[in-house]
Structure 1
Amino acid sequence: MVVVISPYADCASARDTAARFVAEHCPWADLDAVQLVVTELTANALRHTSGSWRLRLRAEHGELTVELDDSSPALPEARTPDFAGGGGFGWPMVLSLAGRVEVQPHAEGKTVRAIWSREPEAA
């Protein structure tokens, strides 16, 4: 497992860490999708929280898990994209790129978990 903790990292550092982790531990994963999800989750934590965030990457049992803890109790929600610069693109993108997404509220905020499963090899 790899952990990246703010304020010692930014979106670019988190994305680079994810790329190294995927290359070493789960090269089967779609690197572009993982990096986009990591970028979106960390950017949202920076934009929408007043506290710190923590990113964890884990590969085990044929799954890659990206977890981001942040200090905001507000759960992500889909909204109509605003092409004039108001956002609304990130959460639907996270939902479409990851195989499975879970959000777990807790006393300190929430954890957003994006999970990709390794496809079984064809016989």
Structure 2
Amino acid sequence: MNAEPHVVIEESPHKDSAGARHATADFLSQYCPWVDGDAVLLVVAELVANAMRHTAGWWRLHLTAGQDTLVVEIDDSSPLPPVPREPDFAGGGGFGWHMVLRLASRVEVRPLPYGKRVQATWMRPVSVRTAC
């Protein structure tokens, strides 16, 4: 894999969550075949859905691949950080943020002048690093 990072940007309102998942899947197959693609797609779907549900409606997806990392960033217009909720097994939700925290290697939320950035990072497993 090229040591230079690669970036894909998907933005609303021009794209929906399906477009974000499709762009992510294409990006992963080309630049990050080592990552658990299902886990990344779940995180992207959850972060985009949260941005659509809990903000003024716009969001921006950044995907960056380094030699041993994948970084997914979602910027949105809300300054409020995600809040974990008690999961509601009767259909009321509350699972998404917990899922994001478990599936990514690291998750950070950073304030921006126009809202916030949620950043999820995956590290290439050591066993895959030595095999390449």
Q: TM-score range by the shorter chain?
A: over 0.9
Q: CA deviation at 1:85?
A: 2.9
Deviations 1:96-116 (A, max 9, x none): 000110100122110000000
1:11 is the counterpart of 2:17: yes
Q: CA deviation at 1:119?
A: 1.2
CA–CA distance in structure 2, aligned partners of residues 42 and 19 of structure 1: 15
Q: Which amino acid aligns with 1:71?
A: S
CA–CA distance in structure 1, aligned partners of residues 29 and 78 of structure 2: 31
Unmatched segments (≥5 aa) in structure 2: 1-6
TM-score (norm 2): 0.89
1:33 is the counterpart of 2:45: no
Unmatched segments (≥5 aa) in structure 1: none
Deviations 1:24-54 (A, max 9, x none): 0010000000000000000000000014110
* Identity across matched positions, percent: 58
CA–CA distance in structure 2, aligned partners of residues 74 and 55 of structure 1: 18
Q: How does 1:36-55 map to 2 (within 5 A)?
A: 36-55=42-61
Q: How does 1:1-123 map to 2 (within 5 A)?
A: 1-121=7-127
Q: Which amino acid aligns with 1:7?
A: P
Q: Which amino acid aligns with 2:81?
A: L
| 28-37 vs 74-83, greater mean Cα deviation | 74-83
